[in-house]
Structure formats: C-alpha cells, structure tokens
Amino acid sequence: MENEKNRILYIDFLRIVSALAVVMVHSSVRYVILEPIGSSEWWAGNIYNSFSRFCVPVFFMISGLLLLDSPKSEDLKSFFNKRFKKVLIPFIVWVLIYYFIDLYWFQKEFSFFGFAREITGGPVFGHLWFLYTLIGIYLAAPIIRLFIKYSLLEHQFYFLIIWIFFFSVLLLIGKFWNFRIGIPETIFGGYLGYFILGYTLSKIPEKAGRLNFIFFFAFFFMVFITIIATYYLCSVKNSYDRFFYDYASLNVVIMSASIFLIFRSYKDKLSVVFSQRKETLQMISSTTLGVYLIHPLIVRIFRVSSEHLIGIKFQYMVHPALNIPITFVVVILTSFFVVYTMKKIPIIKHIVP
C-alpha cells in the first residue's frame, strides 16, 4: 500500500477538486442546453462544463483505490456491514427528500405505486444516479477484490484495455461510423472500470516527474477536444448533444485518468506544503459526498429565491462568464456550511457521511 499519509492527502485533494467540478457542471450546463449554439453565453457554459467532466469518474476511481487497496481479509458480512451503512442510509433519506421536493415543486400527486416505481426504477433526481451505481459496484466489490488480490498488474491493464475499448472506443466509432459488434459491451463492467482504474493507476511505478508534462498535456488537450467536439456536434444537430460530455466518452476517460495521475505525481510535494493543514483538508474532504448530495437543492433554491427577491432570473442579470462562477461560489460555500453543520448534529450526520 502507498504511504498512508501521502495517499490520504492526495485523495483528499482529488475529492475536493471533484466535488468542485460537480458543482461547476451543474452551474454551467443549463447554458449549453438553453442558449443559442455558438453564442457567447453558450460558449461560456461549454468551456466551464468541459473543464469539469472528470468529476464523477474520479469519485469512482477514489472509491476503487480505497476499497481495493486493503490488506485486510473480510468475510461478506463484515464487508457489507461496514460499507452499506454508509451508503444505504444517505441513499434512502436523500431519495425521499428529492422525491417529495419534486412533488412539491411540480405539484404532482402522490401515489404509492408511482413512488415505488420511481424509487426502484432509477434516480428520482438526476445526480442520485451516482448512488444507484455505487451500490451496484459495492455489490460486485468482494469479487473484484479477489481479482485484484490474485492478479498481476498486467492482468489489470488487460482488463482496462478491454474495458476502454468496449466502454469508450466502440461508443466513439458507433457515433461517427455507425459500426457495431455483436459482443455486448455490458460484459466489461460499465462504470466498474473506473473503480478498477483508480486502484491500478495508484500502483503503476512512479517516474519522479518525468511524465507530469504528458499528464498535463493529456488533460488540457482532452478539455480542448471536449469543447470543440461538443460545438461541432451541437452545430450539426442544431440542438444539445452531450456525447463528448458523457462519462463513457474516451476524452472524459483520458481526462479523468490524467488528473488522477497529476495529483498522485505531486503527492510528496502536497504532503510537505500542506503538512500543517492536513486536518483542515481532511475536514473539507469529509464533506464532499454531502456537498454532492445537497448541491442541486441549493442551486434550485438560489435561482428561485434570486428571481423572487430581484424580480428577474439571476442567469439573465449578468453574462454567464461571470454568472457561472458567481453561482458556483455561492452554491459551494452554502453547501459546505450546511453539510458541515449537519455533520455536527447527532443522527442527522449519518445522511452526510
């Protein structure tokens, strides 16, 4: 296992940066969807959004690193008792919260069968798909742990090459050349690949900064590709096309792996520079899942309240180039302080683990 101090610190940074990126995605995407394609407002939304697409994949990668990089042997009962309490309680509570908020805002009528269908059939609110997927990955994790324990690094890379081919490359080929093969891509794991990717990348030999330039170049080049390719597809289609925003797209896979490796390569420097602020970073890091869960509610409250107070929708007051970062800062700070407060309250703290 990597040095514990270094490992935790760079993971804390990755958690924080990923949480910031999630909020940026949800602060900017509306402009890509609603504004005229190619307008300055649209470009602002596209640029901010493209820089942030690594957000959720990196969360999966962090989960994989932490869950698979464990020397302890656990039976199934111990494994699920330890993990599922941290996921199921927030899952149940936040699904209920967002379900009834949705009923209130859109004035829907409650029906038990409709409620059961929505809860079991998929996320009642868009961002909650992450918890559904994470639960599925946790169900597979004990088996994946055995694969990791008894496999060599070359076996893990073999799996990842096959995963990227079926998860991303075939998606890209199918989009532009309408090419398909008969082997179901679902065999190779979907988002489970990110889970294994995080662990495997944490184990590759370090080259003491020799590859840092490549990691930075890969990240920014993929951001550039995302910006330009999204414009191209939206222009051709004359409507919103999120293909290059998708977490399965090859550009996002490379972007996510690159930023993970950037932080890993600087873990020693981060440990030295932030050695006196380690507890503060860990405290902020501990709020990231809560921030992820609550921030869409804060975004909606902020936009609705600003419209009622000012009489005009906030997104139309200033250009999105400024509006997006203002919304981002307000939502991040509000979400953090709400979650931080909730974590201090007995019982309530269990829904923001």
DSSP state letters, 213-229: HHHHHHHHHHHHHHHHH
pLDDT of residue 124: 78
pLDDT of residue 5: 44
Does 86 or 153 have the greater pLDDT score? 153
pLDDT tens readout for residues 278-295: 888 999 999 999 999 999
pLDDT tens readout for residues 31-64: 999 999 999 999 999 999 999 999 999 999 999 9
pLDDT tens readout for residues 9-38: 899 999 999 999 999 999 999 999 999 999
pLDDT category of residue 3 using cuts at 50, 70 and 90: very low
Take residue 228 and report the two structure tokens written for it. Answer: 């330009």
pLDDT of residue 1: 40
Does 321 or 106 have the greater pLDDT score? 321
pLDDT of residue 117: 78
Distance CA 230, CA 236 (A): 10
User: How many Cβ atoms from other residues are within 10 Å of residue 110's Cβ?
Assistant: 9
Distance CA 281, CA 51 (A): 23
Picking from 22-31, 125-134, 230-239, 307-316, which range would have the lowest pLDDT averaged per residue? 307-316
pLDDT tens readout for residues 75-115: 888 888 887 778 888 998 998 888 888 787 766 777 777 77
Distance CA 171, CA 180 (A): 9
pLDDT of residue 76: 85
Does 48 or 265 have the greater pLDDT score? 48
pLDDT category of residue 251 using cuts at 50, 70 and 90: very high
In single-letter form, the type of residue at position 316 comes to Y
Distance CA 315, CA 305 (A): 12
Take residue 100 and report the two structure tokens written for it. Answer: 């009834």
Q: For residues 112-133, b (16+ Cβ closer than 10 Å) or e, as one string?
A: eeebeeeeeeebbbebbebbeb
pLDDT of residue 71: 66
pLDDT of residue 2: 45
